[in-house]
Chain A
Amino acid sequence: MARVFNHQLGRVMSYWFPEHRPERQFAAVFDTNKCIACQTCSLACKTTWTSGRGQEYMLWNNVETKPYGFYPIGWDARLLEALGPQAWKDGVYEGRTIFEAAPAGERLLGFAPEELDYAHPNIGEDESAAAVDKGAHLVAGHANAWMFYAARICNHCTFPACLASCPRGSIYKRREDGIVLIDQGRCRGYQECVRGCPYKKTFFNPVTRTSEKCIACFPKIERGLQPQCFVNCIGKIRSQGWVSTPEAAREDNPIDYLVHVRKVALPLYPQFGLEPNVYYVPPVHVPAPFLLQMFGPGARAAIATYRSAAHDRTLAGLFTLFGCTQSTIARFAVRDDTAIAWGDDGEELVRVPLREPVTIRAPWDESLAVPRWNIP
């Protein structure tokens, strides 16, 4: 194994291949606080890419309710348990990654899900972490009863486990954008990637007898457009862009700003060691130990920063741009009360006011003689 630097772990780690970063890296930020689990993203993906025979059970994009939702069942819990202690000290991960915990004769620590594990993609939906005592409501600030929605796609990892586990080298990471793909002409269906990906984002197609995975809608990406699950997101929780390494971060790059400058968006299970490139704004109402386990040691600070956005024009402005353009935002700025996004070639993509103009109308419409509701 080679030695590579994983900036999410703050240390060097073992990986199957030497470090070789792409010219630029596909990345995304998902704000978990805004997801309503409408599954529009799942359907947008399904109708675009996985409507074929053998793909029926596949959800390249899925949304699960944490803590009790899984697709496939137990995907994270099983691996967390097998991985052993996962301590962090001063931002540096002290436990083992799945590559460092590889059993003898294996390339990494993984597990192979069974067919039935995929049979209930909405298991645990809307179940909270604890019973709510004799009441039909959750009290704000609740300590035990909480849940949130985790929307998940392939993380197009910097150190992909799927790629490392394929003995045929059928999986590759594109030099131009870091998107991880399975060569459909070369795959022989060994399912090693299904066993190896800790996020379980490669899927075996029993009809073609090859494995398939999220392709980050690369035909759209190549045209400067965000993927289907982004532009169809009802909650406007997503923004797709490019992430730099921390030392090369640019303040006007939306993903860099959220991930490296403000550190408000965090990787999913960074301790697995893949340097995943989908970053999450953690849910504000979830107990710290769970967030530490799921998003690493920066969770508490990320929530504090997120809460400060109400008084932070740049941060608020950037979140306002989420879901407001179908194009990939290369650069942004907040000027006066307006957030502005530009594309790769410097063209202006969209301009959004930080506050929508508010009109309060009289509750009675004289002209139509009907009552009216004001909706915020």
Chain B
Amino acid sequence: MRTSIAVIVLIAGVSCTKKAPPPPPPPITEVRAAAVPDLAPLDGLDVAWDAAPEMAVPLLAQDVVEPKQAVSGVPTVGVRALVDGGRVVFRLEWMDGTEDHEVGLGRFGDAVAVQLPVAAGGDVPSAQMGEPDKPVRISVWKAAWQDRPADVAAEQASRYPNEAIDHYPFAAAADPAVRAEMETRYAPARAAGNPVTAMASLPGPPPGHGGPPPPPPGFAVQDAVARGFGTLTALPRPASVGRGVRHGDRWVVTIAIPLAAAAEEAPTRGRRTYAAFAVWDGSARNVGARKLRTNWVPLVLPP
């Protein structure tokens, strides 16, 4: 009895090897967003993300304008997307063995960006920062914005325990409003309402000065538009949010972008559009134009 079972199993095995192997799953060549009934999670490790197929998007050199960035050891960024009531949420995962969330002289932080065309439809501009009459919308997440110090003075004292400072002119002012105004005089970027300064470590600009307010703690995405190289301009009101977590030697970052209000704008539900991505590795001194980027990839949003 045993022998006959063994024979049957053997025959079955032989017949199996003779069959053609099951075809590999077709390569994923577009980011197809899955719809979720409630809010899509901003936690990139949430199981809800299992519903969204991941496209491995090749990272390319930034080889168009100086300063250029040659390809590094990071071949791809894995992209998934979920759509909830009013947002498309991207989940971006890439390998980066060094966690860089500090910015300083000669120190740069890790970052990632999603780029979408402003106009709906298939006539996309250059994937490298758009074109003068075909703008792109870019949402940037930076580790340094997410992990910005709550107290600049304390952060400075811990980084430079032996620092000796004679005095800050504003420190003597007793009235907090006077002190804030004086301090702003020695922080021209803050006085000018610089959007990067607002995202960094300081409280928002004092009354009477422009510039966007800082995002809520732990959420660190800036929205901007670009019309070609060197034209990135932050929007006055950030609409997107996002957060990153470390997952082994990888970053997993989610960026939630509001769907467009008008049908002629991207992204809208039920329409196909395109998205492109960029990754910066702080340890490799990536910053600004020194980045790895992708081509446009199709982005399909469910109705």
Contacts and interface: CB of A to CB of B under 8 A. Distances in A.
Interface of A: 47, 49-57, 102, 104-107, 112-115, 118, 165, 167-169, 183-192, 194, 203-210, 212
Interface string B35-76: 000000000000000000000000000010111111000000
B191 to A, nearest CB: 7
16 contacts: A53-B152, A105-B67, A105-B68, A107-B66, A113-B105, A167-B67, A168-B232, A169-B230, A184-B189, A184-B191, A185-B194, A187-B196, A188-B232, A206-B103, A209-B103, A210-B189
A325 B295 CA distance: 61
Contacts of B192: 183-185
Contacts of B186: 49-53, 55
Contacts of B69: 105
Contacts of B163: 56
B27 interface: no
Contacts of B287: 189-191
A208 B194 contact: yes
B187 A192 contact: no
B106 interface: yes
Given A52-B168, A189-B196, A105 B66 contact: yes
Q: Is the interface of B mostly helix, strand, loop or mixed?
A: loop
A206 B168 contact: no
Nearest to A215: B188
Contacts of A50: 186
Nearest to B211: A185
Contacts of B63: 105
B288 interface: yes
Contacts of A184: 188-189, 191-192, 194
A205 B152 contact: no
Contact of A208 (B106, B200, B229): B200
A113 B285 CA distance: 12
B206 to A, nearest CB: 14
Given A53-B156, A185-B193, A189-B103, A207 B187 contact: yes
Nearest to A52: B186
Given A105-B68, A204-B104, 6 more contacts: A53-B187, A105-B69, A205-B189, A207-B200, A208-B188, A208-B189
Given A50-B186, A184-B194, A167 B65 contact: yes
A204 B105 contact: yes
Contacts of A107: 66-67
A168 B234 CA distance: 13
The 6 closest A-B pairs by CB, nearest first: A52-B186, A105-B68, A190-B288, A185-B192, A208-B189, A210-B189
Interface string B118-140: 00000000000000000000000
Contacts of B153: 53
Nearest to A190: B288
Interface in B75-94: none
A118 B103 CA distance: 17
A310 B288 CA distance: 55
B183 A52 contact: yes
Contact of A210 (B65, B144, B196, B230): B196
B216 interface: no
Contacts of A113: 105-106
B288 A167 contact: yes
Contacts of B196: 187-189, 209-210
A113 B105 CA distance: 8
A115 B104 contact: yes
B250 to A, nearest CB: 25
B24 interface: no
A289 to B, nearest CB: 33
Contact of A192 (B67, B168, B190, B191): B67
Interface in B207-223: none
Contacts of B105: 57, 113-115, 118, 191, 194, 203-204, 206
Given A53-B168, A167-B67, A210-B189, A115 B183 contact: no
Contacts of A49: 186
